[in-house]
Amino acid sequence: MTKIVIYDTTLRDGAQTEGVLFSSEDKLDVLKALDDFGVDFVEGGWPGSNPSDDEFFAKAESLELRTAKLVAFGSTRRYGVEPKDDPNLRALADSGAEWCCIFGKSWDFQVEEALRIGLDENLDMVQDSVRFLVDSGKHVIFDAEHFFDGYKSNPKYAINVLKAAEMGGADWLVLCDTNGGSLPAEVSSAVEDALLTVDVPLGIHAHNDSDMATANSLAAVESGCQMVQCTVNGMGERCGNANMCTVLPNLAYKMGVETSEMDLTKLTALSRNIGEIVNVLPRPDMPYVGESAFTHKGGMHISAVTKDTRTYEHIDPAAVGNTRKILVSEMAGKASIIEKLKGLGLECGDDTPDITKKIKEMESKGYQFEGADASFELLVKRLRGELEPRFTVEGFKILIDNRLGDMDTEASIKVLDSEGVLEQTAADGNGPVNALDKALRKSLIRFFPEIDDMKLTDYKVRTLDEKSATAAGVRVLIRSTDGKHSWTTVGVSENVVEASLIALVDAIEYKLMIGE
Ligand SMILES: [Zn+2]
Q: Quickly state the pLDDT bin for 363 (edges 50, 70, 90).
A: confident
> How many A from CA of 267 to the centre of ligand 1?
22
> How many A from CA of 515 to the centre of ligand 1?
44
In contact, 88 and 39? CB cutoff 8 Å: no
> Residue range 319-335: average pLDDT?
77
pLDDT of residue 365: 84
The answer to whether residue 94 scores a pLDDT higher than 80 is: yes
pLDDT of residue 1: 65
Identify which of 21-30, 122-131, 399-408, 460-469 has the greatest average pLDDT.
Answer: 122-131
> How many A from CA of 229 to the centre of ligand 1?
9
The answer to whether residue 330 scores a pLDDT higher than 70 is: no
pTM (predicted TM-score): 0.75
> How many A from CA of 26 to the centre of ligand 1?
20
**Strand residues in 9-147 grouped as ranges (E):** 41-45, 69-75, 99-105, 139-145
Burial 198-222 (b: 16+ CB within 10 A, else e): bebbbbbbbbbbbebbbbbbbbbbe
Using DSSP bridges, classify how beta strands 5-8 and 41-45 pair: parallel, antiparallel or unpaired.
Answer: parallel
Tens of pLDDT, residues 190-201: 999 999 999 999
> How many A from CA of 323 to the centre of ligand 1?
32
Please state, in angstroms and rounded to a whole number, the distance separating the CA atoms of residues 441 and 427.
10
> How many A from CA of 240 to the centre of ligand 1?
9
- Average model confidence (pLDDT) for the chain? 91
> How many A from CA of 17 to the centre of ligand 1?
11
> How many A from CA of 146 to the centre of ligand 1?
10
> How many A from CA of 11 to the centre of ligand 1?
11
The answer to whether residue 425 scores a pLDDT higher than 80 is: yes
Tens of pLDDT, residues 45-65: 999 888 888 899 999 988 999
pLDDT of residue 426: 94
> Residue range 440-452: average pLDDT?
91
Tens of pLDDT, residues 216-269: 999 999 999 999 999 999 999 999 999 999 999 999 999 999 999 899 999 999
Please state, in angstroms and rounded to a whole number, the distance separating the CA atoms of residues 384 and 307.
27
> How many A from CA of 386 to the centre of ligand 1?
54
> How many A from CA of 269 to the centre of ligand 1?
25
pLDDT of residue 497: 92
> How many A from CA of 13 to the centre of ligand 1?
5
In contact, 503 and 388? CB cutoff 8 Å: no
The answer to whether residue 336 scores a pLDDT higher than 80 is: no
The answer to whether residue 12 scores a pLDDT higher than 80 is: yes
> How many A from CA of 150 to the centre of ligand 1?
15
Helix (H) or strand (E) holding 173: strand 172-177
pLDDT of residue 308: 85
> Residue range 330-358: average pLDDT?
81
pLDDT of residue 66: 94
> How many A from CA of 207 to the centre of ligand 1?
6
> How many A from CA of 452 to the centre of ligand 1?
43
> How many A from CA of 12 to the centre of ligand 1?
8
The answer to whether residue 467 scores a pLDDT higher than 60 is: no
pLDDT of residue 234: 98
> Residue range 157-178: average pLDDT?
98
- What is the amino acid identity at position 496? V
Question: For 407, left (φ over 0), alpha (ψ -120 to 50), or beta?
Answer: beta
> How many A from CA of 239 to the centre of ligand 1?
11
Using DSSP bridges, classify how beta strands 391-401 and 408-417 pair: parallel, antiparallel or unpaired.
Answer: antiparallel
> How many A from CA of 232 to the centre of ligand 1?
13
> How many A from CA of 112 to the centre of ligand 1?
21
> How many A from CA of 259 to the centre of ligand 1?
22
Q: Quickly state the pLDDT bin for 446 (edges 50, 70, 90).
A: confident
> How many A from CA of 178 to the centre of ligand 1?
6
State CA 11 to chain mean position distance: 14
> How many A from CA of 363 to the centre of ligand 1?
48
Instruction: Find the angle CA(328)-CA(329)-CA(332) to the nearest 5 degrees.
Output: 85
